[in-house]
Amino acid sequence: CMRKGSNLCNGDHMPQEAWPTTSTINRMLASEKVRWSLHTVRTRLAKKQQYCQFFTRFGECKKSGGKCPYIHDRAKVAICTKFLKGLCSNTSCKLTHKVLPERMPDCSYFLRGLCTNTACPYRHVKVNSKAPVCEDFLKGYCADGDECHKKHSYVCPVFEATGECPQESRCNLHHPKKKNKSKRSRADTLQNNS
């Protein structure tokens, strides 16, 4: 090497093949583009085939009349919890009165080993207490039914375990009030003492 500053000649420069040529880059970009457009098509299709959360959960949708892009399926509407307690006699009830494991909450007595009712409409599945809440169930219909090992419960598991929920009003799960009483009164006395 006679040229000034040509320290590239000392042998540690990259071999030519290691650098992608322009055509390889173009090919890579093209396939990336194809992948991306397939991805968007797939998500768009998935969106179209999704069930309407409002309709499934509440039996009605404000966007009905063909305006709602999601599926309104009467067969997948959530169970009427009032009916389960024997409190709904509304024959035109928007929710379903048909008992199916796909839409039934877990039997809390069964989970404590206390349900002996063979005709119990609630789901008799041994769900781990640490299992997450089934999102499909919360939407009103879980296609896995009795096979699902997630919690079919409207009660917030965080609230149930700790007596409080960090999401509070933003949490759309049920926060039963009774259980909190002893904890709250203790907290009150602690506050009063300080």
- Cβ atoms of 78 and 140 within 8 Å: the answer is yes
Distance CA 8, CA 83 (A): 82
Of the pair 55, 153, the CB lying nearest Zn ion is at 55
Of the candidates 51, 77, 79, 83, which one interacts with Zn ion according to CB under 5 A? 83
Options 120, 131, 133, 155; binder of Zn ion; rule CB under 5 A: 120
Supply the minimum distance, in Å, between the C-beta of residue 44 and Zn ion: 17
User: Least distance (Å) from Zn ion to the CB of residue 131?
Assistant: 10
Closest CB to Zn ion among residues 52, 78: 52
Stretch that binds Zn ion, among 28-36, 39-47, 52-60, 185-193 (CB under 5 A): 52-60
**Is residue 141 involved in binding Zn ion (CB under 5 A)?**
no
Query: Number of H helices and number of E strands within the chain?
Result: 7, 0
What distance in Å separates the CA atoms of residue 147 and residue 74, rounded to the nearest whole number? 22
CA 20 to chain centre: 43
